């Protein structure tokens, strides 16, 4: 029987970046851990530690919901009070980023949603697929190119820049 080790609970006497090698030396070829990094997107040094040690990550069952307008809208939106409208174009055409293909390249399930009526189904799929596969799952929600995102300094001080639709409870 094969086992993996949770590096958030074992080898804690070692610095984080030394734990994968310790797991491999103890005979494990797969590791899991709670999000150990200080930032949402760790750098190459942290991620490269795993394959360099000869182990692989497993059991990271999270759902990622990306609201994507292919235009870095939050940068563009912050410029609007200054009569500016510049951003970085991230379209899927030549040279663009296809986030679904990126996730699939890492062996993770992903789905792009282009119609509002498909969002609830995609979110339900992401939750079920993540639990089944024990992998990160992406639901990429495409929005209008110049849609403005709600934002504010705290959760209780959000400004809505677009009309807010009436929310309808989803049934299980």
Max mean pLDDT among 86-90, 105-109, 165-169 falls in 105-109
pLDDT band at residue 152 using 50, 70 and 90 as cut-offs:
confident
Kind of pairing, strands 5-6 and 30-32?
parallel
pLDDT, tens only, 135-148: 789 999 888 877 77
Using the predicted structure, report yes or no on whether residue 1 has a pLDDT greater than 50.
no
Mean local confidence (pLDDT), 90-109: 75
- Could you tell me the fold of the domain covering 63-157? Rossmann fold (3.40.50)
State pLDDT tens for residues 39-67: 656 666 666 666 677 777 666 667 788 87
Residue 96 tokens read as: 């663009």
- What ranges do the domains of the chain cover? 5-57, 63-157
Our CA angle for 87, 90, 93, nearest 5°, is 135
pLDDT exceeds 70 at position 103: yes
Quick check: 7 and 26 in contact, CB under 8 A? no
Cα–Cα nearest to 151, from 40, 67, 83, 41:
67
Q: C-alpha distances in angstroms, 13 versus 7, 26, 116, 148?
A: 11, 15, 48, 46
Is 0.75 topped by the overall pTM?
Answer: no
Q: What is the pLDDT of residue 22?
A: 93
What average pLDDT score do residues 72-91 get? 70
For residues 153 and 40, give the distance between their C-alpha atoms in angstroms, rounded to a whole number.
19
């Amino acid at each position: 029987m094969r086992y993996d080790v949770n590096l958030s609970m074992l080898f804690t006497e070692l610095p984080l970046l030394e734990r994968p090698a310790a797991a491999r030396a103890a005979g494990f070829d797969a590791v899991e851990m709670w999000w150990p990094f200080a930032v949402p997107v760790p750098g190459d040094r942290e991620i490269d530690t795993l394959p360099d040690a000869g182990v692989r990550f497993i059991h990271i069952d999270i759902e990622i919901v990306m609201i994507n307008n292919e235009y870095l809208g939050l940068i563009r939106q912050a410029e609007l009070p200054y009569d500016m409208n510049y951003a970085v174009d991230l379209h899927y055409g030549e040279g663009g980023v296809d986030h679904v293909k990126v996730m699939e390249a890492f062996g993770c399930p992903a789905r792009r949603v282009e119609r509002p009526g498909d969002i609830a189904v995609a979110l339900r799929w992401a939750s079920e697929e993540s639990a089944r596969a024990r992998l990160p799952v992406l639901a990429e929600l495409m929005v209008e190119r110049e849609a403005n995102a709600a934002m504010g300094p705290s959760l209780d001080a959000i400004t809505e820049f677009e009309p807010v639709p009436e929310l309808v409870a989803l049934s299980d």
